[in-house]
Amino acid sequence: TGFINFAYKDQAFPIGEGQTISQPYTVAFQTQLLEIKRHDKVLEIGTGSGYQAAILLELGARVYTIERHRNLFLKVQTLLPSLGYKPNFYYGDGFKGVPSFAPYA
């Protein structure tokens, strides 16, 4: 029940490995600014919990997401498909991106 209440607070949420996901309002605002259209190809740097990737997939984007923290990568690589979300997962340094699929929207 503690996690349910956290979703409505205006604060970052810890996701492990010393990382957080931004408060829900910030994620929503940033996503709106992207003006994603169906089939846009999006590169997400820092998969984290997978929340942003799931939102982008709900909007119809093709998502390429890269995570550098192995434990987060392994968890989200199992979690998102179990919820019906299928981004293209990559483990590695986001600074390098995934150039083989560029350009992105």
What are the structural domains of the chain? 13-101 (3.40.50.150)
C-alpha 68 chain-centroid distance: 13
Contact 97, 28 (CB under 8 A): no
Catalytic center residues: 22
pLDDT at 7: 66
**Alpha-carbon radius of gyration of the chain:** 14
Average pLDDT, the chain: 91
Q: Which residue has the higher pLDDT, 84 or 23?
A: 84
- Going from the C-alpha of 70 to that of each of 33, 44, 89, 96, the distances in angstroms are 29, 16, 12, 16
Rounded to the nearest 5°, which phi and psi values hold at 88?
-90, 110
Write out the two tokens for 18: 């010393």
Write the single-letter amino acid at 3.
Answer: F
Would you place residue 12 in the very low, low, confident or very high pLDDT band (cuts 50, 70, 90)? confident
Q: Which of helix, strand or coil describes residue 103?
A: coil
0.85 surpassed by pTM: yes
> pLDDT digits over 33-83, tens only?
999 999 999 999 999 999 999 999 999 999 999 999 999 999 999 999 999
